[in-house]
């Protein structure tokens, strides 16, 4: 019976003894290849040095000469409980990319710390990367205890230092084990030299790790690598990254939202009997019962558990290029088998791995780790890394050079799939007997949507109500939609999660467009933080009927006003997903009007908006008459 297998990554600062630890671990578990021990002895004697366990892994002569591991190495060992695959990740700063590649494939981690040196910069950096990649199962080994005379006090000092740093990342090590890798103390069994230690050896601690669910247990993700056309058939080819599929399953292909049923699973060479199901790790081709358009980069999934669709998302990245990343710059995003152009919308913060503080910077330099927001022109299918790692990783290219990579999350941003238009059967448009011209002649103005957007506290509702009064006094047919009158009725079923907020704005956009179609000047006062939602609201209206007004005020100003105490509650965590604090606000790119409430009084702002409405909507203006004649 095959034992279960677990992947473990070994990380830590250069020269803290990772390779030595692994070599000794293999020796103590009888996992060295036949003759390897004798070879190690011979090589070490030839170099006039003690037995060097790190030579087990240092496969390249250059590595032995430099005493620096420069690539990830995978090697097996076994215990009575399970088989292990060790991923030895390099600790040297210049080889960070390989360390990340190794850690991304691991189920658990061993963090190596030198007893004499304690936490170093690279140790902290690697620990942060473990946190970044979502690795929760960690054991810390305090190595080279022989160099500090197996001192319990020194071990406790290092343990406290490590525990404090990891707790700041939300990590709690399963154990902190004192060892001397060169002499084998604490690896397979504890040593009399450290009889003060009451815990278990490293091997017994590793066996306490819990194997995480395999990718097959996750929702199906089948990125399309290529489409083969043969004898009139279209075969969709790719590697199943997560989940499983069967003949007869209905699959949805994102981002196009097209569905069809799997009619066969193709293999080369052909199987007899034909394969009827496939799972994560399999490379297969499938045929469908319909000739829907599917291309490289699309992701197949089951309809009920499809990936998210979005054109904006956040990423925790590590930067590898000598050329700094800056806001506004464009890169090529590699997401599974899809490539897409993305622009850096914002650098949200850069992580100081020494202090774990989030620093606000205008650029990201080589080996920095940061959170950024990326925006693409096209809709992308993806998953937050914590939900599906295979579709939650991304790589950034500048030309043909890999310049960065990391993991995706959607904190503060909604899944836009539900906001996309869907077809409806048996609906027929009915022509009104009243024309837009007749409504304009009766009202004296065009029907329009004046869409106020801005942070909470910027002044949207205050201005909307006063503009409504000013326009009404001038004879306009007008009405305000805001949170109070919409959330009590039409949207009473919605909460404040990103998806709920997107649906709230979708409904408001539809109602506002109907108001405009009826000839009213509809003023809307909603934060509406996402550009995508405001764009859809604009597309709902007829051309020229939507006017975006940015009520401008920065977070500090809005927080200083805060009449309802909302910012204070958000800062203490009482209000989650609060725009400007824990959720993003995307200011308009090209609004029709910007009203700066930090610079102008309420009366001046009302006058600016009213003047704009009269110039662009009122029939008394010559330019508007010309527009109406053209209808």
**CA dihedral of 290, 291, 295, 300, whole degrees rounded to 10:** 0
Cα–Cα distance measured from residue 350 to residue 275, given in angstroms and rounded to the nearest whole number: 49
Q: Is 495 exposed, middle or buried (0-12, 13-18, 19+ CB in 10 A)?
A: exposed
In this structure, CATH architecture of domain 313-411: Beta Barrel (2.40)
Give residue for tokens 């069809």: 260
Residues 6+ apart with CB under 8 A from 118: 157, 158, 161
Highest mean pLDDT, choosing among 396-410, 426-440, 493-507, 603-617: 603-617
Q: Which pLDDT does position 100 carry in this prediction?
A: 53
Question: Which pair of structure tokens corresponds to residue 548?
Answer: 């975006």
Q: Is 311 helix (H, G, I), strand (E, B) or coil?
A: strand
Place of tokens 């764009």: 535
Q: With the C-alpha atoms ordered 449, 453, 456, 459, is the resulting torsion angle positive or negative?
A: negative
Q: Does domain 5-206 have CATH number 3.40.50.300?
A: yes
How many whole angstroms from its chain centre is CA 200?
37
Overall average pLDDT of the 174-186 stretch: 92
| One fold for 5-206 and 435-630 | yes
SS3 track for 462-523:
HHHHHHHHHHHHCCCCEEEEEHHHHHCCCCCCCCCCHHHHHHHHHHHHHHHHHHHHCCCEEE
> Which CATH number applies to 222-302?
2.40.30.10
% of the chain with per-residue pLDDT over 70: 88
Look at residue 2 in the predicted model and tell me its pLDDT.
58
Asked if the model's pLDDT at residue 625 lies above 50, the reply is: no
pLDDT over 60 (residue 103): no
* Domain residue ranges in the chain: 5-206, 222-302, 313-411, 435-630
Report the CATH superfamily, name and number, of domain 435-630.
P-loop containing nucleotide triphosphate hydrolases (3.40.50.300)
As a whole number of Å, the CA-based R_g of the chain is 31
From the list 474, 317, 496, 480, the residue with the least C-alpha distance to 408 is: 317
Show the tokens assigned to 327: 């806001």
φ, ψ dihedrals at 63, nearest 5°? -70, -40
Alpha-carbon gap, residue 80 to 612, rounded angstroms: 78
Lowest mean pLDDT among 252-266, 307-321, 616-630: 616-630
538 token code pair: 């604009």
| Tens-place pLDDT, residues 557-603 | 999 998 788 999 999 889 988 999 989 999 999 999 999 999 999 99
531-540 vs 498-517: helix axis angle to the nearest 10?
A: 20
pLDDT in tens, 334-358: 998 999 999 999 999 998 877 778 8
Higher pLDDT, 106 or 422: 106
More confident residue, 446 or 563: 446
pLDDT score for 58: 54
More confident residue, 205 or 230: 205
Strongest mean pLDDT among 18-27, 84-93, 417-426: 18-27
Note if the bond before 269 is cis, omega within 30 degrees: yes
pLDDT(152) > 90? yes
The answer on pLDDT for 417 being more than 70 is yes
**Residue 587: partners with Cβ closer than 8 Å, 6 or more residues away:** 550, 552
Q: Tens digit of pLDDT for each residue in 255-299?
A: 988 999 999 998 777 777 888 999 988 889 999 999 899 999 999
Helix (H, G, I), strand (E, B) or coil at 219: coil
What are the φ/ψ torsions at residue 124 (nearest 5 degrees)?
Answer: -65, -40
Q: DSSP for 543-612, please give it.
A: TT-EEEEEEE--HHHHHHH-TT-HHHHHHTTSSSS-BTTTB-----SS-SEEEETTTS-HHHHHHHHHHH
Q: How many CB atoms lie within 10 A of CB 631?
A: 9
Look at residues 34, 78, 73, 28 and name the one whose alpha carbon lies nearest to residue 53: 28
Angle at 352 between CA 349 and CA 354, to 5 degrees: 165
CA separation (Å) from 11 to 7, 90, 126, 407, 583? 13, 7, 7, 19, 33
* Residue closest to 370 by CA, chosen among 390, 338, 396, 391: 396
Query: Do 34 and 112 touch, CB atoms closer than 8 A?
Result: no
pLDDT in tens, 210-265: 887 678 889 999 999 999 988 778 999 999 999 999 999 999 999 988 999 999 99
Angle at 244 (CA atoms; ends 242, 249), nearest 5 degrees: 130
37-71 per-position pLDDT tens digit = 677 777 777 777 666 666 666 543 344 344 444 34
Task: Give me the mean pLDDT over the 93-105 stretch.
Answer: 51
Q: What is the model's pTM?
A: 0.73
Peptide bond into 273 cis (omega under 30): yes
Q: What is the token pair recorded at 502?
A: 């997107």
More confidently predicted of 162 and 12: 162
Residue 426 pLDDT: 52
Q: Comparing C-alpha atoms, which of 456, 450, 418 is closest to residue 533?
A: 418
- Among residues 530, 31, 558, 281, which one has the least CA distance to residue 509? 530
pLDDT grade for 427, boundaries at 50, 70 and 90: low
CA distance 399 to 377: 18
């Amino acid at each position: 019976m095959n034992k279960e297998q677990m992947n473990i990554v070994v990380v830590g600062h250069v020269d803290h003894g990772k390779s030595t630890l692994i070599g000794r671990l293999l020796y103590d578990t009888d996992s060295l290849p036949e003759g390897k021990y004798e070879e190690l002895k011979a090589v070490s004697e030839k170099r006039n040095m003690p037995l060097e366990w790190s030579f087990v892994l240092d496969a390249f002569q250059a590595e032995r000469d430099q005493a620096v591991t420069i690539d990830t190495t995978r090697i097996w060992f076994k215990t009575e409980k399970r088989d292990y695959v060790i991923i030895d990740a390099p600790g040297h700063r210049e080889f960070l990319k390989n360390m990340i590649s190794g850690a991304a494939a691991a189920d658990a981690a061993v963090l190596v710390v030198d007893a004499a040196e304690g936490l170093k910069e690279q140790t902290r950096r690697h620990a942060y990367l473990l946190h970044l990649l979502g690795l929760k199962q960690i054991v810390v080994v305090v190595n080279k205890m022989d160099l500090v005379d197996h001192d319990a006090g020194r071990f406790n000092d290092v343990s406290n230092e490590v525990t404090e740093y990891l707790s700041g990342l939300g990590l709690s090590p399963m154990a902190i084990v004192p060892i001397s890798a060169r002499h084998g103390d604490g690896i397979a069994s504890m040593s009399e030299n450290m009889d003060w230690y009451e815990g278990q050896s490293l091997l017994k601690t590793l066996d306490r790790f819990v194997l995480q669910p395999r990718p097959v247990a996750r929702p199906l993700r089948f990125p399309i690598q290529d489409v083969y056309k043969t004898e009139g058939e279209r075969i969709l080819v790719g590697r199943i990254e997560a989940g499983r599929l069967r003949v007869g399953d209905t699959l949805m292909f994102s981002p196009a939202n097209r569905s069809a049923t799997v009619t066969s699973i193709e293999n080369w060479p052909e199987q007899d009997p034909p394969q009827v199901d496939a799972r994560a790790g399999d490379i297969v081709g499938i045929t469908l019962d319909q000739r829907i358009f599917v291309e490289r980069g699309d992701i197949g999934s089951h309809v009920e558990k499809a990936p998210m669709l979005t054109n904006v998302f956040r990423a925790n990245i590590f930067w590898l290029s000598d050329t700094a990343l800056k806001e506004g710059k464009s890169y090529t995003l590699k997401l599974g088998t899809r490539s897409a152009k993305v622009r850096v919308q914002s650098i949200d913060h850069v992580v100081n791995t020494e202090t774990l503080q989030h620093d606000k910077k205008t650029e990201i330099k080589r080996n920095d780790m940061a959170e950024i927001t990326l925006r693409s022109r096209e809709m992308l299918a993806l998953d937050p890394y914590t939900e599906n790692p295979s579709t939650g990783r991304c790589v950034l290219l500048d030309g043909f050079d890999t310049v960065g990579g990391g993991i995706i999350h959607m904190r503060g941003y909604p899944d836009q799939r539900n906001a996309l238009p869907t077809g409806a059967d048996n609906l027929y448009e009915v022509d009104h007997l009243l024309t837009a011209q007749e409504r304009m002649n009766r009202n004296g103005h065009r029907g329009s949507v004046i869409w106020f957007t801005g942070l909470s506290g910027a002044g949207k509702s205050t201005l909307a109500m006063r503009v409504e009064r000013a326009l009404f006094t001038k004879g306009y047919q007008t009405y305000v939609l805001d949170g109070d009158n919409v959330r009590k009725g039409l949207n009473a079923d919605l909460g404040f999660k990103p998806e709920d907020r997107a649906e709230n704005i979708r409904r408001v956009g539809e109602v506002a467009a109907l108001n405009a179609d009826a000839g009213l000047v509809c003023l809307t006062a909603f934060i509406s933080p996402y550009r995508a939602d405001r764009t859809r609201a604009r597309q709902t209206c007829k051309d020229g009927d939507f006017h975006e007004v940015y009520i401008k005020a920065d977070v500090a100003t809005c927080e200083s006003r805060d009449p309802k105490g909302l910012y204070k509650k958000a800062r203490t965590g009482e209000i989650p997903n609060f725009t400007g604090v824990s959720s993003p606000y995307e200011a308009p790119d090209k609004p029709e009007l910007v009203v700066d409430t930090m610079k102008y009084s309420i009366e001046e702002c009302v006058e600016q908006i009213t003047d704009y409405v009269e110039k662009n909507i009122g029939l008394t203006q010559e330019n508007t008459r010309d527009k109406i004649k053209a209808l």
